Amino acid sequence: MKSLELKKTIYSEVASITKALNNANRLEILDLLAQGAVSVDYIASETGLSVANTSAHLQVLKSARLAESRKDGKHIFYQLASSKVFETLCSLRGLAVSRNAEIGRLLEDFRTHPGTLTSVSIEELAGLVEQDEVVVLDVRPADEYQTAHISSSVSIPFSQLQERISEIPAGKKVVAYCRGPFCLMADEAVKLLLAEGVDATRMEKGFPEWKASGLPVKADFF
């Protein structure tokens, strides 16, 4: 194979990966897979896609070696193929925010409620946890918490937060977290908590970033 032909072949292989990423639904699915191993049915329910459509997107991601699957009884579970996939997803999000001002504007408009613009970094939260100065609140769905979560966190899914707010220990600041920087469940939780007089903020990123930083997590399977 001549050098020019080889170069075109290599770029074609690279393009197959970028083609798999060139779809909003598949990017959202990758965000879910970053939480841990999840079933096709769960992905469909969380994204609002049909099971058939979800399966088709997952096959594209699997063919591009961005996702992998395993069977457990009657269910098929998918997860990211490697940590490199998550690193790529983070880089893509960062590039999008830096080059597309509309993304930042949309997030800022959503977070205009007083107090919701504040957040703590992963490093800051780790320090607060070590000093036992905060309640770390996981507001993702319970299935994701059971799969893997920050070791010191308590689970109250956002959909149940209004009814279970009394379960949050009094007298400490609450830091909510969810799936990542584009996930808005933590923002919604902070708005609700602030309205109820609870001192609350969100972790600026999400569970996958915490795990990638090598900080303590508990996991059933990941």
Confidence category of residue 164, pLDDT binned at 50, 70, 90: very high
Return phi, psi of residue 86, to 5°.
Answer: -65, -40
* C-beta of residue 168 within 8 angstroms of C-beta of residue 135: yes
Q: What number is the average pLDDT over the span 194-206?
A: 94
DSSP state, residue 159:
G
Return phi, psi of residue 124, to 5°.
Answer: -65, -45
Domains of the chain: 3-82 (1.10.10.10), 112-219 (3.40.250.10)
Residue 92 in tokens: 């893509």
Q: Residue 222: its pLDDT value, please?
A: 43
Q: Residue 104: its pLDDT value, please?
A: 82
What is the chain's mean pLDDT, rounded? 92
Q: Residue 21: its pLDDT value, please?
A: 96
Measured in whole angstroms, the distance separating CA 152 from the mean position of its chain's CA atoms is 18
Residue 212 Cα distances to 27, 31, 49, 87, 209, angstroms: 18, 14, 28, 9, 5
pLDDT tens per residue, range 108-133: 777 765 555 678 999 999 999 999 88
End-to-end CA distance of the chain: 41
Q: What number is the average pLDDT over the span 97-104?
A: 89
Q: Residue 113: its pLDDT value, please?
A: 58
- 58, 89, 178, 185: the catalytic one is 178
pLDDT: is 4 or 179 the higher one?
179
Write the DSSP string, 137-178: EE-S-HHHHHHEEETT-EE--GGGHHHHGGGSPTTSEEEEE-
Q: Residue 115: its pLDDT value, please?
A: 52
Say whether 183 is catalytic.
no
Q: Residue 111: its pLDDT value, please?
A: 75
Q: Residue 45: its pLDDT value, please?
A: 96
Residue 184 in tokens: 């808005």
* C-beta of residue 222 within 8 angstroms of C-beta of residue 149: no
With tokens 């970094």, the residue in question is 121
22 vs 11: CA distance, rounded Å: 16
pLDDT tens per residue, range 47-67: 999 999 999 999 999 999 999
H helix intervals, 100-219 = 101-110, 122-130, 142-147, 161-164, 185-195, 207-212
When mean pLDDT is compared across 105-119, 130-144, 154-168, 194-208, the lowest value belongs to 105-119
Q: Residue 109: its pLDDT value, please?
A: 79
